[in-house]
Amino acid sequence: MEDDIGTRLKALRNMYGLSQREVAKRAGVTNSTISLIEQNRVSPSIDSMKKVLDSFSMSLIDFLTMDMESNEKIFFEKDEIIEFFENGAHLKLIGANRKDRKLRFLHERYEVGAHSGDEMLTHDSEEAGIVIQGELELTVGQQVKILKVGDSYYINNNTPHRFKNVGNVECIVVSAATPPSF
Amino acid sequence: MEDDIGTRLKALRNMYGLSQREVAKRAGVTNSTISLIEQNRVSPSIDSMKKVLDSFSMSLIDFLTMDMESNEKIFFEKDEIIEFFENGAHLKLIGANRKDRKLRFLHERYEVGAHSGDEMLTHDSEEAGIVIQGELELTVGQQVKILKVGDSYYINNNTPHRFKNVGNVECIVVSAATPPSF
DNA sequence: ATTAGTCGTAAAATATAATAGACACTTTTT
DNA sequence: AAAAAGTGTCTATTATATTTTACGACTAAT
């Protein structure tokens, strides 16, 4: 258990947007008790702690194992994410620093004539995407398709594919895949 | 949490065969404290509880989630386990009634000339065994080997295999496999 | 501006946990 | 067998948790 009891309780209370007095009222203890616990001025008895947590309909076990660090970044400014270059495209990976990601969510930019290369790409993951701007030639196995704005695709596991911008403007695609290969 | 704190602590202490005084000494509290907690006369503060559990190198979470009913049978007399007949052998499965078994642990008895049958056996599990008595002809795929006392084997998942007693005395093998197929 | 209400914290009072010491009983050692 | 050691429980005292009351700061309503 990384956080002490007081810090943990304060975080929990703030998650619910409740005041110490409201929690105290629901728990059947005094608000001073809540204050003292949150400041780690006292170590509550197990019975008291249970009463407090009952007001959140939570067990002591859940309280002790609850992940407090759900402060992963949710919003990203356009220029905040560093672009990198791979497979002929300028890529921005959304949530790159998020732990235990289950998604690879990309903003892809292909310059006029750019392509992913002669080699077909394969990933042990399913992938879907949609064209936001320009025209994308997508080769999936033996199938070739020109996708325009609003057109989209869904590629199964390990299916060879490649991309090429065949329009006269920069092509932009937003894609996602799971499980993430990077 | 099914059991109260006191009952749970007493059960834990008895598991280790320690006296209240010994636990108290290790935890840096008084034996009266241990006694009062076990009788549920007091509700210990969380800090005190942790000190006590530290003497068992146990966290509060583990303490609260620990299964108190670990009364699975550990020892079995020779004639206690009912033998059954399968694949040419008399088998005794150790811990047959144990919940959520991850092992199939067998005592196998092959009478002179007995064998597992013309059909090869396959299991979606790894298996290992050792010859205790007699001689066992073990066919694994295309490989045939006569195993004598002390000789052993390890068969991979889904590898066809069969057994035959080629000696002139009863053959005894002890084997184990995971995950268990029965 | 003043009043009312809410918020979290502090200090004193009260309640309860933890301690220290004693007790009765059981087990082990001499 | 007697003495010593070990065991858990009990009681009075001490330490700490919890409550009660008050405070200052802030916000909203009048």
Question: Other C-beta atoms within 10 Å of A22: how many?
Answer: 15
Say how far A39 CA is from D17 C1', in Å: 14
Domain range for A46: 5-65
Whether B73 is covered by a domain: the verdict is no
Nearest beta carbon to residue B1 from set A1, A42, A61 = A61
Residue B155: how many CA atoms within 13 Å on its side-chain side?
30
Q: Please tell me the distance in Å from B91's CA to the nearest CA on chain A.
A: 43
Tell me the percentage of chain A whose pLDDT exceeds 90: 27
Q: Any atom of strand C under 7 A from CB of A22?
A: yes
Same domain, A36 and A126: no
Residues 40-79, chain B, CB closer than 7 Å to nucleic strand D: 41, 45, 47
Bridge partners (DSSP) of residue A86 are A89
* pLDDT, tens digit, 9 for 90 and up, residues B77-135: 666 678 889 888 888 776 677 666 666 777 788 999 898 888 778 777 767 777 878 89
Q: Which two tokens stand for residue B29?
A: 């509290």
Contact call for B64 and A65, based on CB within 8 A = no
Domain boundary, last residue among A35, A65, A95: A65
Interface test with B, best of A45, A49, A62 (most B CBs within 10 A): A45
Whether A32 and chain B come into contact, CB under 8 Å, resolves to: no
DSSP bridge pairs for B45: A45
**pLDDT score of B2:** 46
Question: What six digits make up the tokens of B97?
Answer: 């009634």
Residue B3 binned pLDDT confidence (cut-offs 50, 70, 90)? low
Based on the domain organization, do A48 and A115 belong to the same domain?
no
Say yes or no for a CB contact (<8 Å) between A44 and B48.
no
Does the C-beta of A19 come within 7 A of strand C? yes
Instruction: Assess whether B33 and B86 both reside in one domain.
Output: no
* B 124-153 → A contacts, CB under 8 A: none
Write the pLDDT tens digit of every residue in B21-55: 999 999 999 999 999 999 999 999 999 999 999 99
Q: Which of B65, B88, B105 is the last residue of a domain?
A: B65
State whether A88 and A9 are in the same domain: no
Tell me the C-alpha distance between A122 and A157, whole Å: 8
Do A33 and A112 reside in the same domain of the chain?
no
Domain CATH for B14 = 1.10.260.40
Of all nucleotides, the one whose C1′ comes closest to residue A41's CA is D17
What is the reported pLDDT for B161? Answer: 82
pLDDT band of residue A36 (cuts 50, 70, 90) is very high
Coil/strand/helix, residue B101: coil
Q: Is residue A111 part of a domain?
A: yes
Protein-to-nucleotide distance from the CA of B13 to the C1' of D7, whole angstroms: 14
Give a yes or no: residue A71 inside a domain: no
Which residues in chain B, range 3-62, keep a C-beta under 7 Å from any nucleic strand C atom?
Answer: 28-33, 36-37, 41-45, 47-49
Within-domain flag for A73: no
Does A72 reside within a domain? no
Higher pLDDT, B167 or A80: B167
In a domain, B71, yes or no: no
DSSP SS3 for A171: strand
Q: Are residues A85 and A37 in the same domain?
A: no
Same domain, A98 and A151: yes
Q: Which CATH number is B142's domain given?
A: 2.60.120.10
Q: What is the 3-state secondary structure (H, E, C) of A109-152?
A: EECCCCECCCCCECCCCEEEEEEEECCEEEEECCEEEEECCCCE
Span A94-118, pLDDT tens digits: 667 766 666 677 778 899 988 888 7
H or E stretch at B46? helix B46-54
B82 shares a domain with B118: yes
Residue A75 has pLDDT above 60, yes or no: no
Of B46, B59, B65, the CB nearest to A49: B46
Helices and strands: H and E segment counts in chain B: 5, 9
Q: Give the CA A28 to C1' C8 distance in Å.
A: 18
Residue B72 belongs to a domain: no
Are A29 and A114 in a shared domain?
A: no
Question: Are B109 and B163 in the same domain?
Answer: yes
Q: Which nucleotide is nearest to A31 (CA to C1')?
A: C8
State whether B166 and B122 are in the same domain: yes
Query: Is A107 contained in some domain?
Result: yes
Residues A91, A165, single domain; the answer is: yes
Domains identified in chain A, total number:
2
How sure is the predictor about B5, in pLDDT bands with cuts at 50, 70 and 90?
A: very high
**Distance C17 C1' – A24 CA (angstroms):** 21
Question: Which of the listed residues A65, A94, A117 is the one where a domain comes to its end?
Answer: A65
